[in-house]
Amino acid sequence: MDKAFWQEIVDNHYKLPEKQAVMPLTEELLNYLGEVDRDLRDKYAYEILARWLVLYRYHEPDQMREMIQWLLEQLHVGLGEQETNTVFLRSNAAAVLALIMYRNDREHFLDEIEVSAILDKAKSYLIEERDTRAYVENMGWANAIANAASLLRYIAFNQNLSPSELQGILDTLTNKLMQPVNAPFAHDEEDRLAKIVLAILTRDALTSFDFVDWVKRFSEWKTEHHENGVYNAVYSHTYQNIKHFLRALYTHMDLTIRLPFSAQEFKPELLEVLRDFSL
């Protein structure tokens, strides 16, 4: 289909055209997720799929399962590369998977085994994604870290996840934040990562002791990686990412009206760790 066809859908409030089946059009839109043309990728592919999946709910569970399998495969395309165009496909595959997991949180069409399999691949993707660019000049948003974070956030809401699986998400997040980086976050990635923790907190499946043990790992990292008065850009960028993440988490906890008691018990300990990263 040409752009005029997709623009007509946008102009018609994103509704599926009459006498058109959803899956053939979905397959074409999915193939646009890696396009360098931002109109095809963002304006049409993602924006149309977002409304079809979440607002109009055109897709049936089996159709979404088919989409999930294809999208998970795309998370590996060019994985480990930096500053190449393959990031658009990986990132947008994660973004559409997040939409499906958001819908599953409301309809529960995926079973425990299916959710756990998606979780394992989402964790691996966040750890192994090395392209941390948010906005790419002349091409638009890459945003791989933010989209991977959104995917893990919506998986974390799933009631089928065990406490050990939720702990595994926290551990993955810690390991990601401690990875050496060549540039600090610049477009609110720390907020998206903090919302993963907020989702886990609202589950009330882990104890305050679990969260305290987890957050203390950041203080341990600082002790082990102290600069000793010699400037190191990679250390500085990683330090800034951790500090901004901790601040974002504390702020989001402050802004959340209802948190379980375990979260309230954990908050003072979070503040103590945050002081370690503050002047």
- Where residue 183 falls among pLDDT bands split at 50, 70, 90? confident
pLDDT at 231: 87
One domain for residues 48 and 179? no
Q: pLDDT-derived band of residue 161, with 50, 70 and 90 as boundaries?
A: very high
- The answer to whether residues 2 and 81 belong to one domain is yes
User: 225 pLDDT band (50/70/90 cuts)?
Assistant: confident
Pick the last residue of a domain from 131, 160, 189: 160
CB contact at 8 A, 28 and 1: yes
Our count of domains for the chain comes to 2
Neighbours of 239 (CB within 10 A): 19
139 and 200 in a single domain? The answer is: no
Higher per-residue pLDDT: 226 or 254? 254
**Same domain assignment for residues 11 and 124:** yes
Residue 190, pLDDT above cutoff 80: yes
| Together in a domain, 52 and 133 | yes
> How far is residue 101's CA from residue 126's CA, in Å, rounded to a whole number?
16
- 37 & 101 share domain: yes
Do 109 and 140 lie in one domain? The reply is: yes
Q: Are 96 and 30 in contact (CB under 8 A)?
A: yes
Q: Which residue has the higher pLDDT, 197 or 1?
A: 197
What is the structure's pLDDT at 257?
Answer: 81
pLDDT band, residue 33 (cuts 50/70/90) = very high
The encoded tokens of residue 167 equal: 């702990």
Average model confidence (pLDDT) across the chain: 96
Q: Give me the pLDDT at residue 176, please.
A: 98
Give which of 147, 54, 47, 148 is closest to 107, Cα–Cα. 54
Percent of the chain at pLDDT > 70 equals 100
Q: What is the pLDDT of residue 1?
A: 83
Domain that holds residue 36: 1-160
Say whether pLDDT at 175 is over 80.
yes
User: 136 with 249, same domain?
Assistant: no
CA distance 208 to 7: 50
pLDDT band at 140 (very low <50, low <70, confident <90, very high): very high
Residues 44 and 172 in one domain: no
Average pLDDT of span 61-72 = 98
* pLDDT tens per residue across span 85-105: 999 999 999 999 999 999 999
The residue out of 128, 160, 192 marking a domain boundary is 160
Give the pLDDT of residue 273. 97
- Same structural domain, 151 and 214: no
- Tell me, what's the pLDDT at 39? 96
Judge if 120 and 201 occupy the same domain. Answer: no
Q: Which of 160, 189, 217 is the last residue of a domain?
A: 160
Query: Quick one: average pLDDT of 181-199?
Result: 95
Task: Say yes or no: 153 and 179 in one domain.
Answer: no
SS (HEC) of the chain? CCHHHHHHHHHCCCCCCCCCCHHHHHHHHHHCCCCCCHHHHHHHHHHHHHHHHHHCCCCCHHHHHHHHHHHHHHCCCCCCCCCCCHHHHHHHHHHHHHHHHHHHHHHCCCCHHHHHHHHHHHHHHHHHCCCCCCEECCCEECCHHHHHHHHHHHHHCCCCCCHHHHHHHHHHHHHHHCCCCCCCCCCCHHHHHHHHHHHHHHHCCCCHHHHHHHHHHHHHHHHHCCCCCCCCHHHHHHHHHHHHHHHHHHHHHHHCCCCCHHHHHHHHHHHHHHHHCCC
